[in-house]
Chains A and B, each alone.
Chain A
Amino acid sequence: MKAIVWQGTNHVGVETVPDPTLLLPTDAIVKITSTAICGSDLHLLDGVIPSMEKGDILGHEFMGEVVEIGRDVKRLQVGDRVVVPFNIACGVCDPCRRGLFSACDNSNPNHRMAEALYGAVSGGGLFGYSHMYGGYAGGQAQYVRVPFADIGPHKIESDLRDEQVLFLTDIFPTGYQAAENCAIVPGRDVVAVFGAGPVGQFAARSAQMLGAAHVIVIDRVPERLSMAEAAGCQTINYEQDDVMVALREATGGRGPDHVIDAVGMEAHGHGPGAIVDTAKQRLKLSFDRITALRWAIMSCAKGGTVSMPGVYGGLIDKLPMGAAFAKGLTFKMGQTHTQRHIAPLLGRIEAGEIDPSFVITHRATLDDAPELYKTFRDKHDGCIKVVLDPWG
């Protein structure tokens, strides 16, 4: 089959690789009908995520049709149309039973790698995302092996198009969980979203769905800001305005009640802090550039929430902890517990509250993917979200 393969830092390619097979009786094989490139794939491209190996198949946002099931799979049948969460969960361990699916105890076979880096804990496995997270082959391919097939995949039984449901696999639940983590008081709370990439777009719209009185989106890319404006958000271009002043003005001097950092560890930023972060990252002294997180903490209102769907990988410094303490902020973060959000969010799509396909700017085939990774990374050509047809 055809697949997008990681070939080293800044190199992805299209290769012909063996078709996946069932490895355990709880596996299924899914023929992929639509897959996407995610912003966090760019961290893999950039080589800032440790434990990638040459030859790894990328991709964690995909959906398709079940073509084969293991003998212990009960809830799926060949022919089912499914969306598959990007995170892999066993469904029986204590975190899974509490709905913390991305913190699954059991689905990561390389638990010792994560424990060595992060202490005596290991999150669950992820599709197409480094060996620290299990090293599972991803879904930017024509077929994929789906482990724990009774737990993750969710059947789509309505006639919604792939483009309307594909993002239930990651970016929609990720943006939604970021907004949900803010515990927004409807009609009262003002929410600021740093980063107007796909997750930021869904976080802003989710904050609106959860009743935010006002949503402000901060970015530097005009077409991303336009997309947020189209949803009725106020926008701030941080290259043209002083973010802190603009946010104070927009909130009567209080600051936003909740701030969502939808940027994560590769913030561009500017000023001395951003230069130091970038230099340290290049020298491998640090993985993370944290301009967005600093702004989030500094701008957030007293008693507010800093919600972090953006990915962080390693250690950070120059974190304004004094400001966080002085204002009594709450921090909420972590991988998305996708499995618990899919059914309710599918309900909202079916009810016409949101059509997630608004975020798509580019449609292509697997053969175009290596080029589009770079277009997406460099934010050229108005690129916000790429969807790939593996059979095109």
Chain B
Amino acid sequence: MTPADSPPDPSSGQPSSAPPPPSSTGAHMAPAERSVVGTLGVALMGAGLRGGTPLQKLVLGSVGAGLAAMAATGRNPLATALKIRQTQSGDVLVSDAVTIGRPADDLYAHWRDLASLPRVMTHLQRVDVLDETRSRWTVTAPTGEVSWEAEITADEPGRRLAWQSLPGAAIDNAGEVLFRPAPGDRGTEVIVRLTYRPPGGTAGAVLARVAGEEPAQQLRDDLMRFKREQELGFAPTTEGQSSGRAAAGRIA
């Protein structure tokens, strides 16, 4: 079944449940962000013209000119350089995939049990299941705890699960996980795509990235954790092993 919000893409050759492919041009700024960045750029250029040492003039002038250029073109080259991907509508997109040696039905069942997701996705504080389709998600963010309500928008057992935040969410976001049989006897390909509208637009996404909050790396780690939980039943570790470092090793 194809949900109304994700028409099949005839060019991708993927199952019809796949959403439209992400924009690869990257880093489009929303109109509000453009005007804020443009104003800041012009102000900095003005400050640079007015005074200070020649070096200050040069720095303020060029940073200002850079910001003004970003506003004029609607592109954030920092976001592009940091490989922050965006959808056509300007949301940040994070996606990744992993192959797990287990049947799709088992993996789907684990994912459908939303309350258990924080075990795999470590930045998730908790998921409270409210009813058959609605749930409340709580994450730890750099600014503290953030939570929102989400709704399951597509549920195809063994194949796909999609969800979207409800109006009023602190961070507008949506996500889907696809379960696809891997060729041969390799199990299941699990593909996760998450989109969100970062507070502060592309600049916010760049700041978050620079501050070390990397959703793409978090997702990769989460998928590897899920794979290891499913294939091994535990996570390999060297935590607490002996070494020549003073703090390591056995705690008596």
Chain B nearest CB, measured from A354 CB (Å): 34
> Of B2-10, B78-86, B227-235, which stretch is located at the interface?
B227-235
The verdict on A55 contacting B243 (CB below 8 Å), with A94-B101, A106-B228 known, is: yes
Out of B220, B236, B245, name the residue touching A108 (CB < 8 Å).
B236
Write out the residue numbers on chain B whose beta carbons fall within 8 Å of the beta carbon of A108.
Answer: 236
**Residue pair A137, B99 in contact (C-beta under 8 Å):** no
**Residue pair A55, B248 in contact (C-beta under 8 Å):** yes
**Residue pair A137, B231 in contact (C-beta under 8 Å):** no
The verdict on A92 contacting B231 (CB below 8 Å), with A53-B245, A55-B244, A136-B241 known, is: yes
A105 on the B face (CB < 8 A):
yes
Nearest B residue (CB) for A16: B244
Measured CA separation A56–B195 after assembly (Å): 41
**Residue pair A17, B242 in contact (C-beta under 8 Å):** yes
Interface hits, A100-127 → B, CB 8 Å: 105-109, 111-112, 115, 125
The verdict on A23 contacting B237 (CB below 8 Å), with A18-B249, A18-B250, A90-B232 known, is: yes
Measured CA separation A111–B221 after assembly (Å): 9
Q: Which of B232, B236, B238 counts the most A-chain CB atoms under 10 A from its CB?
A: B236
Measured CA separation A325–B237 after assembly (Å): 43
Write out the residue numbers on chain B whose beta carbons fall within 8 Å of the beta carbon of A17.
Answer: 242-244, 249
Write out the residue numbers on chain B whose beta carbons fall within 8 Å of the beta carbon of A25.
Answer: 234
B186 on the A face (CB < 8 A):
yes
**Residue pair A112, B249 in contact (C-beta under 8 Å):** no
Measured CA separation A26–B187 after assembly (Å): 24
A147 on the B face (CB < 8 A):
yes
**Residue pair B232, A106 in contact (C-beta under 8 Å):** yes
Measured CA separation A354–B69 after assembly (Å): 72
B217 on the A face (CB < 8 A):
yes
**Residue pair B240, A54 in contact (C-beta under 8 Å):** no
Measured CA separation A185–B232 after assembly (Å): 40
Chain B nearest CB, measured from A124 CB (Å): 9
Write out the residue numbers on chain B whose beta carbons fall within 8 Å of the beta carbon of A19.
Answer: 242, 250
B224 on the A face (CB < 8 A):
yes
Measured CA separation A285–B161 after assembly (Å): 47
Measured CA separation A107–B240 after assembly (Å): 16
B239 on the A face (CB < 8 A):
yes
**Residue pair A54, B244 in contact (C-beta under 8 Å):** yes
**Residue pair B101, A109 in contact (C-beta under 8 Å):** no
Chain B nearest CB, measured from A370 CB (Å): 13
Interface hits, A171-209 → B, CB 8 Å: none
Interface hits, A1-15 → B, CB 8 Å: 1, 3, 5-7, 15
**Residue pair B99, A18 in contact (C-beta under 8 Å):** no
A231 on the B face (CB < 8 A):
no
The count of residues in chain A whose C-beta lies closer than 8 Å to any C-beta of chain B is 41
**Residue pair B227, A23 in contact (C-beta under 8 Å):** no
Measured CA separation A17–B243 after assembly (Å): 6
How many residue pairs between the two chains, A and B, have CB atoms under 8 Å in the bound complex?
90
**Residue pair B242, A147 in contact (C-beta under 8 Å):** no
The verdict on A112 contacting B243 (CB below 8 Å), with A18-B249, A94-B101 known, is: no
Write out the residue numbers on chain A whose beta carbons fall within 8 Å of the beta carbon of B248.
Answer: 18, 55
A145 on the B face (CB < 8 A):
yes
Out of A54, A90, A94, A134, name the residue touching B245 (CB < 8 Å).
A54
A93 on the B face (CB < 8 A):
yes
Measured CA separation A20–B241 after assembly (Å): 6
The verdict on A112 contacting B220 (CB below 8 Å), with A55-B244, A57-B242 known, is: yes
**Residue pair A134, B232 in contact (C-beta under 8 Å):** no
A343 on the B face (CB < 8 A):
no
Write out the residue numbers on chain A whose beta carbons fall within 8 Å of the beta carbon of B241.
Answer: 20, 23, 136-137, 145
**Residue pair B237, A93 in contact (C-beta under 8 Å):** no
Chain A nearest CB, measured from B233 CB (Å): 9
Measured CA separation A90–B99 after assembly (Å): 16
Out of B99, B238, B243, name the residue touching A94 (CB < 8 Å).
B99
Nearest B residue (CB) for A125: B236
Chain A nearest CB, measured from B59 CB (Å): 31
**Residue pair A106, B243 in contact (C-beta under 8 Å):** no
Q: Which of A17, A53, A97, A115 counts the most B-chain CB atoms under 10 A from its CB?
A: A17
Nearest A residue (CB) for B184: A94
Write out the residue numbers on chain B whose beta carbons fall within 8 Å of the beta carbon of A90.
Answer: 231-232, 236
Nearest B residue (CB) for A25: B234
Interface hits, B96-131 → A, CB 8 Å: 99, 101
**Residue pair B235, A109 in contact (C-beta under 8 Å):** yes
Interface string of B21-34 (1 = CB under 8 A from A): 00000000000000
Chain B nearest CB, measured from A276 CB (Å): 32
Measured CA separation A139–B235 after assembly (Å): 22
Write out the residue numbers on chain B whose beta carbons fall within 8 Å of the beta carbon of A94.
Answer: 99, 101, 186-187
Write out the residue numbers on chain B whose beta carbons fall within 8 Å of the beta carbon of A107.
Answer: 236
A321 on the B face (CB < 8 A):
no
Write out the residue numbers on chain B whose beta carbons fall within 8 Å of the beta carbon of A92.
Answer: 101, 231-232
Chain A nearest CB, measured from B73 CB (Å): 31
Residues of chain B at the chain A interface (Cβ within 8 Å) = 99, 101, 186-187, 217, 220-221, 224, 227-228, 231-232, 234-245, 248-250
**Interchain residue pairs with CB less than 8 A apart (5):** A17-B244, A106-B228, A106-B231, A108-B236, A137-B238
Given A21-B240, A23-B241, 12 new contacts (CB under 8 A): A1-B242, A57-B244, A90-B236, A92-B231, A94-B101, A105-B227, A105-B231, A107-B236, A109-B237, A111-B224, A112-B217, A145-B242
Residues of chain A at the chain B interface (Cβ within 8 Å) = 1, 3, 5-7, 15, 17-21, 23-26, 53-57, 90, 92-94, 97, 105-109, 111-112, 115, 125, 134-137, 145, 147-148
